[in-house]
């Protein structure tokens, strides 16, 4: 469920608050809380990359 929130942030235009991109900040904070940057590779990174590719196509 939390990963779905992150993927929704990739797919939707959440805009900016106080000049900061809401989607990027939300994704970064979630990844920090999940300690995703400490692992060599995680499923969530693969899913984020896949979602970005889907949006770009």
- pLDDT for residue 39: 83
pLDDT of residue 17: 96
Name the phi and psi angles at 37, rounded to 5: -75, -10
Summarised one tens digit per residue, pLDDT across range 6-41 is: 999 999 999 999 999 999 999 999 989 988 889 888
- Tokens 């990027």 belong to 24
Q: Which residues pair with 16 in a beta bridge?
A: 21
DSSP 34-47: TTGGGSSS-HHHHH
Q: How far is CA 4 from the centre of its chain?
A: 9
Residues 6+ apart with CB under 8 A from 30: 2, 5, 6
pLDDT of residue 20: 96
């Amino acid at each position: 469920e939390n990963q779905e929130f992150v993927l929704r942030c990739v797919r939707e235009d959440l805009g900016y608050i106080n000049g900061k991109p809401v989607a990027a900040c939300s994704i970064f904070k979630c990844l920090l809380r999940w300690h995703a940057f400490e692992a060599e590779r995680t499923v969530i990174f693969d899913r984020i990359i896949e979602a970005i590719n889907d949006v770009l196509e």
